[in-house]
Structure 1
Amino acid sequence: MGFLKGYISIWYKKIPVPTVIWTANTQTPLPNTTSAVLKIVKSGRLLLTHPNHSTIWSTNNNTTSQSPKNPIAQLLDSGNLVVRDADDENPQNFLWQSFDYPTDTYFPGMKLGWNFETGHEVFLTANKNESSPAPGNFTAHLDPTGYPQIVIKSGTQEVYTTGPWNGLRWSGTPSINPDDPHFKYKMNMNPREVYTRYEIVNNSIYLRLVLSSSGVFESWGWVNETKSWFSFIKSPMDICDNYAFCGSNGICNLAKSPLCGCLENFVKNTGGADSCHRRKALKCKNGTDGFKKYSGIKLPDTKYSWFNKTMNLVECEHECLKNCSCTAYSSLDISKGGSGCLLWFNGLFGIRVLSKNGQEIYIRLDSSEIPEPITKGSHPSSKGKKGKIIFGSLLLLTIMILLGLSLCFYFYKKSNKKERKLKESLDIPLFDLSTILRATNNFSNNNKLGKGGFGDVYKGVLRNKQEIAVKRLSKNSTQGIEEFKNEVIYIAKLQHRNLVKLLGCCIQGEEKLLVYEYMANKSLDTFIFDETKSKLLDWPKRFSIIIGIARGVLYLHQDSRLRIIHRDLKANNVLLDNMMNPKISDFGLARSVLGDATEANTNRIVGTHGYISPEYAGDGIFSVKSDTFSFGVLLLEIVTGKRNRGFRHPNHSLNLITHAWKVYKENRELELIDEHLAPSCDLSQAQRCIQVGLLCVQQHPEDRPTMSSVVTMLSNDCTLPEAKEPGFFTERRASESNYSTSTQGESSKNECSISLLDPR
């Protein structure tokens, strides 16, 4: 670092060609560098002064209320000029750093993006020309509008977008190789900040990205043999990368003349407008629109987009169909076979053909424009021979994993190396016990959130400030290592916005812990069955929770990689995040069924009294319809604010579902609605929910709807069938039976005999 041609700059020390990566006084060159002084003052600010011009340049880090005790300035090996307090024990607590105020060079380790807490944006500004570092017309930003993408602007006008980050590269930069041995790109998003950066893997090379004065983002690498820099990636690459070059719904192809055309099934607008429209207009009615896959392209500008990291493509399609303005969707992350959902709204801009590393997008069309209409609940990617091969591979992989884990567990019981082998069998992050103890304050009672069949649950805070919930397997738990392993196997493979996320586990000595994302509002039962808290759940919130749970169960039954039967769906196994979104938890009792199977048999009855279906309690047969029964009970509990188990009525001894069916047959079902819902309740919607709940709890499994039908019935105004008599245990007979269970919420592992089934 030093003075160069009237500027104070940072450049490479070991490269013979002077290559500047940062300049301080870009707008005010010094007339005489011999008289200039760079100094640090007590407040921690850096000042560049000159006798004839007073202060030429200064840092703007004087924002803290407390002045540093011993401010110093350092030029780090990374090329970052920093100001910090020498008395601060943390050397990373910078008062100011040049990486936050770059000029034209994007350097390894530098974050390009936004800090939402401070409102500060890190962006690049091109030089005016090759001989002057004064700010030019072009800037490069990470634009967080919609889904983040890098945008180059001339003034305020976009001239180029990279397309969205797809987990491997920016969609429009096919030359970036995620397996490059020299450098790695990453994109990070959280509520506090969003940024992209790249790191050098091999420290023996020199690499820099420069925004040129002509608006080209160019990657440069140093070649020792030739003692020169070489350019290996440029953005924009060619004329097709010019922003919105072919207009709305157009596509640019360098191999064709003219370059611009319309997407297939689109035609040019009349009147000379440089854009395209659908050959057949969308009707935006149920069943009239579908999607066609377009491959090998750069994804469109994401300024007007929406995304969800946990959805799959089927859910993504359904979400798009809900909104008439939604015009296309794709996978968000292709790094692991495809995950997440990215939706576009209105016109699609910036699509081009790529010769390699192009992506797939599903664009909305009139259903008549699609050769093979997508059947309900399916997806184009699952059709044909390729889909069968993928499904067969996944099925074989699933069987191999389950078989491998079963064998491992057998040897665990026979071996003194039980703990180590168990860890090796679990393909999820492992936490050190010391980390969990520190996070939960040694499992302090003040951190205790509750208790279940597994054991106690504690709140914790990791060093990175992330809040977690820790389930601790109790020595006296009715659940054991089978349930622990079961939970890890299943939930680690499930990704859905209405399923709780497992972050990892800890197996150390006798401690077996599961680490989850923390749910700020705990479980659903703490609200709907509480006289005070139930008032906080108005009808729109309750209906949203009902829909969310239904979609979560549908995912388990139909859309997940494993066909999962939960077997313990109940109010205290539904957690609520800070936005009151429901997330199904506790997969310790879950089971998968293979292929197209929908039921299985067991000699060991598990679950929670009040939610178990009659055929499961009586004959040990569990199926997807067992979960439907449990969902129906839960739905009725949400609407009424009453527990099925322990329900009391002054005129009879029936349980909740039987009482609900009784008043339903007398057309008095509105009497069931929780009195706290009166001001906000949509009566027709609540009445529909009651009838759907009763359809779910019918005596015979074949009479109950599938969860796919449940979601449809709840979401639409279709005519509902009449509910038949429900399956149930009366409260009197249940108390007299051998049905062994602990109190609600304390245990989910209950044994019952076949003789208990007492249908009405």
Structure 2
Amino acid sequence: MPIGVGTNSVSVLNSSMFFLFIFSLLPSQHWSEVYDLTPSQSLAQEQTLVSPGQIFELGFFSPNNSANKYVGLWHKSIFPRKIVWVANRENPLAVTDSLATLRIGSNGNLELVDGNQSSVWSTNVSMSTNGSAAVLLDNGTFVLKDDMGADLWQSFDYPSDSLLPSMLLGFDSNTGKWNLLTSWKGENDPSTGIFSVGLSAQMPTQVFIWKNGSTPHWRTGPWDKSKFIGVPNMDSQYLSGFTLDDNVKQGTRYFSYSLFDKTLAYMDISSDGILTVMLSENGEKWSINYAAPTNTCESYGACGPFGFCKASDPTVCKCLKGFTPKSGKEWSKRNWTRGCVRETPLSCGRRTNTSVSSMGKKDGFWKMENSKIPDFHEYLTSLSNDVNEDCKTQCLSNCSCLAYAYVFNIGCLVWSKDLIDIQEFSSGGEDIFIRLALPDSGYEKRTKLIVSLTAIFVISILGFIVFGLHRFSARKKGKSLSYKGNIMVREHFESIDTTETSRDTLLECIREHDRAEQFMYNYDSILIATNNFSSTNKLGEGGFGPVYKGKLQEGKEIAVKRLSRSSGQGVEEFKNEMLLISKLQHKNLVKIMGCCVTEDEKLLIYEFMENKSLDTLLFDLSRRAELDWARRFNIIQGVARGLLYLHHDSCLKVIHRDLKVSNILLDEKMNPKISDFGLARIVQGTQDLENTQKVVGTRGYMSPEYAMGGIFSEKSDVYSFGVLVLEIISGRKNNSFYYNDQLPSLLAYVWHLWSEGRGLKLVDEVLADLYSSTEVMRCLQIGLLCVQDNAVDRPSMSEVVLMLSSNTDSPQPMKPIFTFHNAVSPSQPQYVKSTCSGNEATITIIEGR
């Protein structure tokens, strides 16, 4: 063989091997992109069909390198890839079939053919034209159009396991067509699995996950025109995107959702029956927004008929009031599926010679609050103006009615079948009234109690009259108000500066929760207890005066707040504070034991807190190690629950207005208690802003709208809570923090770390690595959400409590611009690495109790 020929052959061979190597490095399914399918343009396996905005992509895939091949659709730029629609899910191609194509057939339909040109899948629609074309749109729908541009077929009408924004989930009762999500059989098998998701036919409708076609696995509860009431964390800020179109005339009912920004999303049902909502705000990765069922209580009927489930309770399942486990043996083994049975038969219908209405009156109702209402409801529409009372009357007059509920935006719901799938939520939910025989309903006990209380009230009134005559006589003789005995709380109400409406609310609260007497302490006994207000007994001093430790003669330790005569807190604010705190009872609020009023002194007596205030530990270099992460997280949760009680759950709506670390006291077990309500206001309504000309609080904790304009609301406390959370995480003071000119405050520094993905750098260095990074990042995100500039952007305390106890992703915070432009740098910087300053500008401080 000539040498020249051999050398040339080797060169050609080497070049061929080189290009073969280069091509082998390229993704096998992304060699080329096409933007539509026509009779002359088909889709081969080395090609993908792409939407105009490069958002979605359609092509061939093999799940987890299985032996089968499918045509599917996914988001183009997000990895790992999530297949949101599959064409031939029941008819896979062999992975070795390299000649299969997706094309426009001779009859104008889309069809998938294998290497032998046999049809594997087709759109199979009737048409009078063969000039059709197929395109993939930016909303994720794959559409077949005729030569005039009209839609002939679209993938949105044939969902797989995923629901994209603007897709419809529901049914057409006239045609019998149901749009359901159906799970994959397994991770490697897109064929139809055992779980499906759809709308129920009842009114009002709810979303169900069914197993094997008809067995309920999970449900949302009824739709109330804005949300599903059985999903308590269906956040209001997302509600505007949810739509349920119920067209009775056309017989259609469809649920859909939409997004108003660039966020991408999908909802899917997994092969093991979990419904998940996924979001991608940056188009790079998916994050879980919501998932269910994720615990025993969310599984349908976990506690059986007439049982209810409470996820936070160790026992999980309990029987409704008036019911007992059907099988105590099974119940003890935590097998609750057989549920509970009624202890006392209902009176209604037991005697045939008595009218239904008269018999029905022998039954009563027990109210269960914060509940996910049972399944199998019936909807009543013919009600009078007093809908709640009419709902009760209609249920009571029907012996088959076992329970009723009046739900805002829905109306009257009644139940005549076994009550099943009830949950008790920690917050949210609805009130349901369970029908019970009279003894079980507690009516007789309440009647006896009312009679007893009436007698006590009459006797008390007579006693108060005698006491009032005695006091009037004492005043005429010039005696002071220093005494220990009974005093009517209402007497102190008259001088409180509130609106007429709020006065009525306070009086109502006092009437409902009055303890009949409020202890007034003798001034001399307080002098003895505090050793004449000795400096050795002094715990601290704030804007309203010093606080002293004391010990009563019976041995009980107390904390005495001695209001200074020069302080801004006069008799009015003193009475306000006494009334508020004495009526508010919560494990995360400090308890007031009483007060003392003389001509020269105004004193408040509190329970003594063994571990003083949070700042005495958190900002003490030698002691802050006592606050490990578990304790800090417990303190954050406790303060959140205390604020939620003040804002929402108490008989009065209270805004604290001076929440800070020195107003958080710690008991002997390091449990937090919010103190100092002297700055609180009684506010009506929900979250309406109010304006005050008296701006009080502490620099560094006041929200922008309060500090700059005197406008306060619940969200003012939320802002202060956010600052407190960031201080607890970092062990650093916000109002004396300085890093550099670009980061002049703690909030600015936190945002800098957060925006760079270095949030864990904020953690107090004394914790070392002994903390939960997940909990820290969750608290850090919540803290930043709470200190956002606009009050409407901040979460409510109910949302904060939910976020603290949930693993679902929270909204992303926005940069707190106010803290960058309005931070005042202290003359001596506080922060270099972990140095803390004791300087604090404040209007009111309560130190350790």
TM-score by length of 1: 0.47
TM-score by length of 2: 0.42
